[in-house]
Structure formats: structure tokens, C-alpha cells
């Protein structure tokens, strides 16, 4: 019978585990990097958003918790978007976190392009709200620089067309499972309390914030 010296066998076994783990980690990293590139084909090379057939939102600088929450909302059909459901439901929780953290660190300049004449009115609504319509100041939740926190999204630098579309269609896309209410319920009465002109003004103001 052939015996293997324990002092050589143990280091060899440890090295095998290390290389196996390293190989698995490297493969996972490649997979996540591939997902980054896939996301950027729509959301822009620096996550700054893109104007195509329809406006695709800025993800750069977005709150990590918010991105993760929205990906789960797509998966659970609480937020409706057939394209994002197809993308998100195949992502593992770890990959969703990695993607959210990656975009959180990006900070390109906003694309701008909104009507400048609406900015002043939008700023007033964002900072003061519309008391007569029971609309609170946006900055009360989203912060004075509109950068959000935790589950509250960053709005600064977002494409104005995207912000406008989301607010005027809020109840058609968000909070679609009454059995699983989420933070989108907070925004529903606010979105309904704004006229289309007021939404356009707020969206224009936010689009220029860095």
C-alpha cells in the first residue's frame, strides 16, 4: 500500500480549495461584469440614461436600496414593465446588489435638455410643495439636493421625460399588488395632486441637478 505524507497532502488540499474558490469567484465576477455591460446598452455607458424610442432612466448615483427594491418589484409584478421583468427575474439577489452598488458609484453629468423656462416653477414646487393641493415639498423626502436616501430614490439628473412619464402614469405602473403594498403608495396621492404642467416643471428642474 502507498502512503501519502500528511504534511504534503494537507497543503495540496488547501491549495485545491483556494484555486477552486478563486475560479468560482472569478467566474462570478465575469458574470456580473457582463450584466453591467448589458445594462449599459440601454441605460448609457455611465448609467446617465438614454433617449431612444422612449426615455430610459438614469441609474448613475441612484440609491442602492432603491434599485434593489425596484428590481424585486418588477420580479413580483408590483411594478409593471415587461422589459425590466425579463431582465430582472433572471438575476440572483447577489447580482442585483452588485449591480446596484456599481451604478451607485457612477456620477456623470446630467443629459439636460428640458425646457429652461420651466425650471423656476419646478424649483418652487420641489422646495415648497403646493399647499392648496395638499402636495408636500418634494425635498422633505428626497432631500434638498434630490439625491434621496436608502429606499427613497435620487431624482437629481433624471431625464425629464422619464420623470414626467412615471408621475403621470403612476397608478398604472406602480403598486400593482394590493396584497403587497410598498413605498410607492406614498407617492400615489402626490402624483395625482399635480397637474401635467406642474409635473413637467418639477421634471425640468430635477433634470439639471447634479
Confirm whether 91 is domain-assigned.
yes
- Taking CA atoms, 188 is separated from 79, 128, 136, 168, in Å, by 13, 19, 12, 10
The percentage of residues in the chain with a pLDDT greater than 70, rounded to a whole number, is 86
Confirm whether 3 is domain-assigned.
no
Q: How many CB atoms lie within 10 A of CB 10?
A: 10
146-163 residue pLDDT tens: 999 999 999 999 999 999
93-139 residue pLDDT tens: 999 999 999 999 999 999 999 999 999 999 999 999 999 999 999 99
Confirm whether 2 is domain-assigned.
no
Q: Which three cell numbers stand for residue 95?
A: 447580482
Q: Is the pLDDT of residue 72 over 60?
A: yes
Burial class (CB in 10 A: 0-12, 13-18, 19+), 159: buried
Confirm whether 134 is domain-assigned.
yes
The full DSSP string for 128-173 is H-BGGGTBPPTHHHH-TTS--BTTBPP-TT--HHHHHHHHHTHHHH
Confirm whether 1 is domain-assigned.
no
Q: Is the pLDDT of residue 2 over 60?
A: no
Confirm whether 182 is domain-assigned.
yes
Instruction: Read off the CATH number of the domain in which 73 is found.
Output: 1.10.760.10
Give the range of the structural domain holding residue 196, as residue numbers without chain letter: 9-207
Q: Global pTM?
A: 0.84
Confirm whether 130 is domain-assigned.
yes
pLDDT at 23: 53
- Overall number of domains in the chain: 1
191-206 residue pLDDT tens: 999 999 999 999 999 9
Helix segments in 44-136, DSSP class H:
64-75, 82-88, 93-104, 119-128
The percentage of residues in the chain with a pLDDT greater than 90, rounded to a whole number, is 72
Which of 14, 127, 107 has its CA nearest to residue 59? Answer: 107
Amino acid at each position: 500500500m502507498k502512503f501519502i505524507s500528511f504534511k504534503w497532502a494537507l497543503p495540496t488540499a488547501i491549495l485545491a480549495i483556494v484555486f477552486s474558490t478563486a475560479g468560482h469567484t472569478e467566474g462570478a465576477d465575469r458574470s456580473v461584469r457582463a450584466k453591467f455591460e448589458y445594462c449599459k446598452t440601454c441605460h448609457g455607458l455611465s448609467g446617465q440614461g438614454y433617449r431612444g424610442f422612449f426615455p430610459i432612466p438614469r441609474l448613475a448615483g441612484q440609491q442602492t436600496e432603491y434599485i434593489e427594491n425596484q428590481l424585486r418589484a418588477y420580479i413580483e409584478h408590483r411594478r409593471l414593465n415587461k422589459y425590466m421583468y425579463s431582465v430582472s427575474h433572471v438575476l440572483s439577489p447577489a447580482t442585483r446588489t452588485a449591480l446596484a452598488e456599481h451604478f451607485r458609484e457612477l456620477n456623470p453629468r446630467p443629459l439636460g435638455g428640458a425646457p429652461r423656462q420651466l425650471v423656476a416653477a419646478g424649483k418652487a414646487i420641489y422646495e415648497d410643495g403646493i399647499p392648496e393641493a395638499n402636495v408636500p415639498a418634494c425635498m422633505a423626502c428626497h432631500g434638498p439636493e434630490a439625491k434621496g436616501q436608502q429606499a427613497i430614490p435620487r431624482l437629481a439628473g433624471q431625464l425629464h421625460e422619464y420623470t414626467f412619464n412615471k408621475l403621470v402614469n403612476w397608478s398604472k405602473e406602480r403598486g400593482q399588488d394590493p396584497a403587497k403594498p410598498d413605498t410607492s403608495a406614498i407617492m400615489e396621492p402626490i402624483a395625482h395632486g399635480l397637474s401635467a404642467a406642474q409635473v413637467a416643471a418639477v421634471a425640468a428642474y430635477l433634470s439639471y441637478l447634479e
